[in-house]
Structure 1
Amino acid sequence: MTSDCFAVPGGLMPLDDALDDLARRLSPVVVPERVPLRAAVGRVLAADIVAAVDHPGHDASAMDGYAVRHADLSESAPVILPLSGRVAAGHPLAHPLAPGTVARIFTGGVMPEGADTVIMQEDVTETADGRATLPAGVSPGRHVRAAASDFRAGTTVLTAGRRLRAPDIALAAAAGQTHPPVFSPVRVGVFSTGDEVVEPGRPLPPGGLYDANRYGLMALAETLGAAVSDLGHLPDDRAAIRDALDGAADDHDVLLTSGGVSVGGEDHVRDAVSDVGALHFWRLAIKPGKPVALGRVRAASFIGLPGNPISALVTFLLVARSMIQRLGGQTVVAPARYPVAAGFSLPATGARREFPRGWVENTPDGPRARLYRSQDSAMIASMSAAGGLLDIPANSPAIAPGDPVSYIPLAEVLT
C-alpha cells in the first residue's frame, strides 16, 4: 500500500461504498506460520485444510445395539439368533459375522464384515443362554454410519481466510491435521490523547474523564484475534505524539486511536500523523460517527476514530473491524441483519444511516426491538446495555411501533 492509499474525494460517503472501497485497497500484511492445534483457535487460516483420511474411516454403529445381516431378519415375525461376538469402539470383531448370528455392538464400533444393520438394544431381548430376539420389520441399513459419510480424504474441509472456532479445531483434528497453517496476528497499537483523559484508578481532576476509549478499543481489537499493544496515553503535544507514532510504526501493522483528528485547534494527532505519514478524512454518512481518519505512518495503517465513546465503538465495529480482518487475511463477511418489529417510535432519518443501540425482547405480541433510553454518543452505558444495533437506512420515514426494522446482534460483529 502506498502512503496515499486512503485518499478519497470529499463529500458524504455511504457506508457500503466506503467498505467496498476499502476492500479494493486493502490486502493482508501478515505472514503464514504453522501452530499446534491447541494454539490455533481464534487464528485465521492461511491455506485450505484438506482431509488426510475418510471420516468415519469405516462403517460404524450409530447406536448401542446388535449388528445383524438384514437378510437374516423377518418382515413379519421376530427372529431369534445366537450371539457370535461383541464389538466396542476401537475393538473390531476379528472375524466376519457368520450368517444366522448377531453381534453385540456399541456406538462407534466397526460394523463386522457381513453385517449391514443395527437394532437398538431397547428393541432386543437377550437371553441368558446367549441368544437375542430381534423384532420384525426392521429397515435395512438402520443405525449404521457409512464410511466417509462426513467427508472423504482429499476433501477441503476448511478454507483459507476462515477464523478458526472451537468446532473448526475439532474438524481439523478429525481430518488428521496437527499443525494448521495460519496467519500471524495483526499487530495493533492503541493509544489515547487528551489532557482531560485520566488513567482509571487515579484521582479525577476538575474536567477529567477516565480513559474509556483506549481500553474499549483494545478489547475490541483483541476480540478479532489481533496482537494488541497498549501505547498508553499521550499528552496533547504535537511533537510527543509524532515521536510516539514514529517509534511505534515499525512494530505494528495498525495504529489505532480515537479523538484528536478533527479540525479543532487542540487536535494534535492530525498534525502529528501528517508529519510522519499521510492522513485523509472519510466523511461517512452514519450516525453515530463523524469523519474517520485513515492514513499511513510508514508501513503501518493509521485509523483515527471519533472521540465520543459510542461513536468510537460503533465506527470500530462498522469500519475498523473489517479493515483489521482484511489486513489479517480473514475473509470478511458482512454481519447478518435480522428483521424484527419495532417496539419504539423514531423520527424520520436524514442523510445519514443511523445505528441506535438497543436489544430484542420477547413480548406477548412476539419479539420487539427496544431502544436504550438515551442515544447520546457519550453515554457508554448504552453500549454495555445493548444487545445489538438497529440499522436504520438514510432518508427513512418515521418508524412507529410494529414497523419492521433491521437488527444486528453484537455477537455478529464481536468476532
Structure 2
Amino acid sequence: MSQQARGPSETVEIVRLGHAGDGVTADGLFVAGTVPGDIVRIAREAGRGQLIELITPGPTRVAPPCVHFGSCGGCALQHVARDAYLAWKHDLVATALKQRGFADVPMDEIRAVAPGTRRRANFKAQLRGQDVALGFYEAGSRVLVDLTECPILVPELAHIMPRLRRQLSKVLRPNETAELLATATDSGIDLALNLKRKREVDLLTLLSTIAATLKLARLSWNGEDVAIAETPSLRVGRFTVALPPGAFLQPTKEGEQMLQRLVLDAASGARSVADLFSGCGTLALALAEHHAVHAADSVVAQVDALLAAARQGNARVTGVSRDLFRRPLLAVELSRFDAVVLDPPRPGAAAQAKALAESRVPKVLYVSCNAASFARDARTLADGGYRLRRVTPIDQFLWSPHVELFAEFRR
C-alpha cells in the first residue's frame, strides 16, 4: 500500500466515496484507493491526497480480486465490498436526478452483471525489449500495465491475451504503441488493430498469418479488413446481425439482455416504435418480434447491418442513417409512433429530447450510460409534459464509476 509522496504527511479519515470512486475526507480531499471508514496517512499534492499508508481499514474494504488493482487504470473500486459498491452506484443515479429536480422518482434496485462477462476491451500494446506489454494504462498516465489476468473479461478474451502478446512481438517496433479493440462476438473474436504504419504487402501478409494463428473471426487494421475467417455476428432472438468493424455493442451480453427485457416490457401495447441511436439493432430487432420498428443511427454501416438482418428474418423494420444530434426526428415525424426508444452515447440526446418534448408520443423509453446527461434530458422531457415513471440502474461497467440505466416516461 505504501508509495512515495512529496510533502509532509498527515493522518485522515475517509468519510465517503466521490463520484469517480475516490475516497473523500471531511474537508473534501480526494484520496484514490480508499473506502469510507479508512484511517490513512497521506500527503497533500496538487489538490489531492496521495496515499502513503493504510492505518486502519474501513468496514467495507475487501481484498481486490485482481493482482493488478491499484496500478491498472481499468478498475477503480475492486477494494469496496459488493453491497456498498452497488449502493454507491445506485446513489450516483439518484444524485444526478435530484440535481435536476427529480427527488421522488421510483427507483428499482440496481441490477449487476457478474465478473467475467465483459465481451469487449480496448487494449494497448507496446514492445519492451523482446517482449510485448499488453493491457491498460495506469490511471491518469501513459504508463502501460502488462496484464497477466483480468477478472472482468469473458474467458475468450482473457485466454487469448498470452497468445496475442507473442504474435504482436512479430509486428511491433521499439517505442511503438498499438491500440486493439477486441470483441468476443457470437461467431468468434473480432480484433480491430490501430497501428500507424504505411500500408505494405509484407505487413498485411503478416497480419493475415496472425489472424489465422489466433483463429480470429476477423482482423482489421486501421479500419481495413485484413482477414475474415467468419463474419463476426450478433444474435438477437431469431435474427443474426453481421457486425461491421468497430460496431457498437453493449459491453456484456447479460446487460444487453437485461435492457432488452426492460424495453420489451415497457413497450407492450405499442404498435409502432422508433429506435433512435439504434446501433446494429440490439433493441430494434428484439422489438421487431412484436412491433413495427423504425431505426435511426448516424453510422451507415450499422443501419445497413440491422436492415439486412431484419430482411433475412422478414421483420417489419425500416431504417435510415441520420445524425440525430444535428437532425433529430421532429414532432411531425414522431407523430406516427406509439413509443420511442433512445439509446444515445455518453453525451446524451439533448436535441432529440427537445423534439420529443414538443411531440405527443405516449411513451419514451430511455437507455443511458451517463446519469448526468440522462438527468438533463429527463428534465427536458418532464418540462414538456412527460412523467418519469421509473428508473432501473444497471451495472455493466464492473468496478468502474460508470453506470447504465433504463427509464420509462409517459404522457
Same fold (TM over 0.5): no
Larger radius of gyration, structure 1 or 2? 1
User: Looking at both structures, which has the greater relative contact order when contacts are Cα pairs under 8 Å and sequence separation is at least 6?
Assistant: 1
TM-score by length of 1: 0.20
